[in-house]
Amino acid sequence: MNCTHCNAKLKSCEFCDGHLTVYKTNPDYMQCDTCKMQVQIASDTSFNKKFYSDEYLNDLEHESSIMKINVQHYEKLFKLLTKNKDHVASLLEMNKLNIDECQCYGGGFPQLESFYPLSKLTIYDLIATQYRKHIKVFTNIYDTDGMKITYTAHDLLKGVKKTTNPTFVSFSHILEHFSFQDMSKIISSAANNLPDGSYGLIYQPNISAVKGKTWVHYNIQHLSFLPIDTFVKFINDFDELEVKVSMSYSDDLFILFRVCK
**Domains of the chain, CATH where assigned:** 1-41 (no CATH), 46-259 (3.40.50.150)
Question: What per-residue string of b and e applies to 188-200 under the rule 16 or more CB within 10 Å gives b?
Answer: ebbbebbeebbbb
| 1-5, 42-46, 102-106, 124-128: least confidently modelled range | 1-5
| 65-69, 76-80, 167-171: least confidently modelled range | 65-69
Distance separating alpha carbons of residues 102 and 242, to the nearest angstrom: 19
Is pLDDT larger for residue 116 or for residue 42? Answer: 116
Is residue 228 over pLDDT 80?
Answer: yes
pLDDT reported for residue 17: 85
pLDDT reported for residue 3: 60
Torsional sign, CA 179, 39, 234, 260? positive
Task: Indicate the pTM of the whole model.
Answer: 0.93
Is residue 238 over pLDDT 90?
Answer: yes
Mean pLDDT of the chain: 92
Is residue 170 over pLDDT 80?
Answer: yes
User: Phi first, then psi: what are they for 127, rounded to 5°?
Assistant: -115, 50
pLDDT reported for residue 46: 65
**152-179: average pLDDT:** 96
Is residue 257 over pLDDT 60?
Answer: yes
Helix (H) or strand (E) holding 185: helix 180-193
**How many C-beta atoms lie closer than 10 Å to residue 56's C-beta?**
16
What percent of the chain is predicted at pLDDT more than 70? Answer: 91
Is residue 22 over pLDDT 70?
Answer: yes
Is residue 1 over pLDDT 60?
Answer: no
For residues 216 and 251, the answer to whether their CB atoms sit within 8 Å is yes
**159-170: average pLDDT:** 97
User: Phi first, then psi: what are they for 128, rounded to 5°?
Assistant: -55, -40
| 34-38, 40-44, 256-260: least confidently modelled range | 40-44
pLDDT reported for residue 59: 79
Is residue 43 over pLDDT 90?
Answer: no
pLDDT reported for residue 220: 87
Is residue 169 over pLDDT 60?
Answer: yes
Is pLDDT larger for residue 53 or for residue 117? Answer: 117
Task: Give the confidence band of 117 by pLDDT, cuts at 50, 70, 90.
Answer: very high
